[in-house]
Each structure stands twice: as C-alpha cells, then as structure tokens.
Structure 1
Amino acid sequence: MKLIKLDAIDSTNDFLKSLSSQDELENFTVVTAENQTKGKGQMGAKWQSESGKNLIMSALVKDFLYDNEQVFNLSIIVSLAVIEVLKTLNISDLSIKWPNDIMSYNKKIGGILIENTLKSDGRIVSVVGLGLNVNQTNFDELPNASSLAVIAGKSFDKEALPILIIEKIKEKIELWENNSEGFWVIYFETLFRKGVPMPFKNLSGQNFMGIIQGVSSVGKIQILLEDDSVSEFDIKEVQMLY
C-alpha cells in the first residue's frame, strides 16, 4: 500500500483524483492529511475537523467497478470495513446512517464520500474519501457529532487506522463476488434507525413520517410511507431528521 502523508491540503479527494489522472498509480494508494481546508461531505456539505486530531484519508480503488449500476457496492464494502475496524477498537453501538455515515449511538463519528471517474476505456476508477473523528473531544458547534476518544474515554493511534481500513476493504473486495448478497444483508442489518417510524424532509421542505424498509440495488433508500406505499429516494431527495 502506497501512503502519501500531507500536512495540509484543500481536499485529499481532489489531490488524489488529480494525481491519479496524471500517473498510473498503484491500486489502494492512500493520501492522508493532518488538516483539510475544503473537506467535502455528501451533497456538498463541509466536513469540519480539528487539525491533527482526526483521520482524513482518501484511497484509490480500481479494478472493482465496471458498471454505473454497481457503484453503490463500493459504498457497502467501505462502510462495513470501517465498522469492522471500529468494532476491534471496542467502539460501541455502531451503525451506518444511509448511505454511509458512520454512527455510534446517535452521534456521527465518520463520513464517507466516494467519487467515481469513468475512463475512456470503460473502467471506473474510484476515490474513497473518509473522515473519521478520532481524538477530537470538543464538539460544541457540532451537537450531533462525536469521536472515538469521547465514546471510549481514551485516545487512539490514528496513524494505524488507514492500514487497518485498507486491509478490510481489500478483504471484502476479494470476497464480494461470492458473497455480495451476504454483504447486502449485513449492510441493511447495520442501518441506523431501520424499521422504526421517524421523520424525514423531502426536496420541497415538507416533513413526513416513514419507516426505512431497505436500500435498492443502486443505493436508493426505500421508505414505507403513511399510506402504506413504499417510495425510493436518492441522496439528494430526502433528509433524515433525528
């Protein structure tokens, strides 16, 4: 695994995308940064992180996705890999808030942003961005956030985490072809607030009640509505209120 360590960068995802377009980079090349000035989350949200305290990493993944209809498979692999690593660190009550936020209890401790590039030869090259709150303990301005240190009551070696996470991702990619159905089942079983009535907000700003029923093959969330119909929503079409 090739590891590139940076002190500060605008975005590790952007840096790695630029690097991969200019050079035939080794698969699973990882870029980490102590500070990121323009960290990105889903739907263009900013990812805020205290300098030097947390894990900010991006990893190159290629030779796995070959079809745009399959891109959500990588989200499942990465989120489950992170969950498994955190379990080995005794982080409690872990779940995945659709599509791939990492939760402990009802607090967000990590976020994943996967950006895919379709190459001229039809290959799909992915840059997997992960922000994980590790040793930050002050979340006064982020009431829904927490960290490994807050949850476990101790600090962690964040330098060891990229290697552990990449090894888990590699392991799951190797097993995917023969066990994809099993991974989908585990992903759904790990979903935050599945199967319980909860409020959502749609694109029009209207609140509604629903129950998470599942996730479609292309990653759309399936919600049972009050009229007993099931609707599918993309990431930009619905917001979970919790």
Structure 2
Amino acid sequence: MGSSILVIEDSTSIRVAIAAALTGAGHSVLSRDDGDRLELDIAEFRPDAVLLDVMLPGSDGFALLEVVRRRSDAGILMVTARDAVADRLHGLTEGADDYIVKPFEMAELVARVNAVLRRRGRSASTMHIDDLIIDPDAAVVRRAGVSISVTATEFRMLCFLAQRRSRVLTKTQILTAVWGYEHYDPNLVEVHVSALRRKLEEHGPRLLHTERGLGYTLDSARPTDVPS
C-alpha cells in the first residue's frame, strides 16, 4: 500500500495539485490549509511524511515542524516560496528532511517525497490484487505479466482504488481524489472507469466492479459481477 502523506498548504490550487500528484503516485493524502488540527491529524491519520508550507496563517511551518517532531517520526518536507539560505538551514537544522522552493515541478516533489520515505524506511510498496500489479514509484501497471498502458488520470484512479481495496468508493470521492474537485461532471468517472476496465479485462476477469447506486470497488475477480 502507499504511504500516508499529510499536506499543509494554504494555497488551494497548489494544495489540490500536490494532493493529486501524490495520490497519482499511490499515496494516501490528507490536506489542510492550516495547522490548527495538526496534533489530531498526526494521532488519527498517522502520516509517514508531512509537507509543510512555511508561510501559513496562524502558526507558520517552522512552528508546525516542532510539533511534528514532538509527536511523530514522520519524514518532513518544507515547501515554501522563500529561497533564503537562512530559511533552508533553519528548517533542516530543526529536523526537516528536505526543502523544496516554489515554483516546482510536481514530478520533482513526488520524487523528493519518495526519497524521504525511502530514507526513513517508509516507502510505498507495490500493490497486488490477484494478478494485477501496481508500482506507484515506477508508475507501472502489469496484469498476468503484461504491461498495461494507462493514462496519468487512469493511473491516479487505479492507485486510489487499489489503496482502498474492497471499499466501495463513490463518484464524488473519486472525483475529489483524482481531479481534486468534487463538482466536476460525475460522468468523467464513468468514462474513465469504463476505459480502465476495458484495459484491465483484456488480460483477465473483472477486478473493477460496479456497485449499483453506490460507486465502484477494486477487488478480486467475482463469479457474479453486475456489468455496467
């Protein structure tokens, strides 16, 4: 399963983009626009890594860094527009594992998060569902030993479903996790589920199941699945 990542970033657009990129890489993400619930989130979500924006309303990222270090052994990546050497040294000296300056490419951010997780021995593992193999780090999908070509959106959706294997996920939950916004047309989910399902079923029985009136679940093949 993927690692659990807590993201604290006050910019909505950046927060949504980070969450989408990390979810697409196979991680489970909880995002907040401030650190008011940090101690509770650490206790309940138990993050493997925390991304902290330095410039936050209320307690800034450096203050939150101290809280994380007292309450958790999670990896910490500081995310900020500040590029001063003093700021970088401050974060690293106080216990941050890495530091990335805005603007940045999401691919670089994901790579840095994965590197922090590996150094702390908390890297995401490959996910298996029957003969389906999903490698979040390498962005590889294989079934029955055959590589399956999927789009970036399909990969994010597949990782999100695989992380929550056997759980029924609604269209709204999938929209929020994959597209980062719950008010997109829910038909987007149907279209991408159908496309992903066709690709998976070229190499074996159905794994992506429709739960009538509820949503979708990724699980082992069933003898009786309702077609959609």
Q: TM-score range by the shorter chain?
A: under 0.3
The normalised TM-score by structure 1 is 0.25
Which structure carries more relative contact order (alpha carbon 8 Å, separation 6+)? 2
The normalised TM-score by structure 2 is 0.26
Greater C-alpha Rg: 2
Of Structure 1 and Structure 2, which has the larger fraction of its residues in strand? 1
Of Structure 1 and Structure 2, which has the larger fraction of its residues in helix? 2
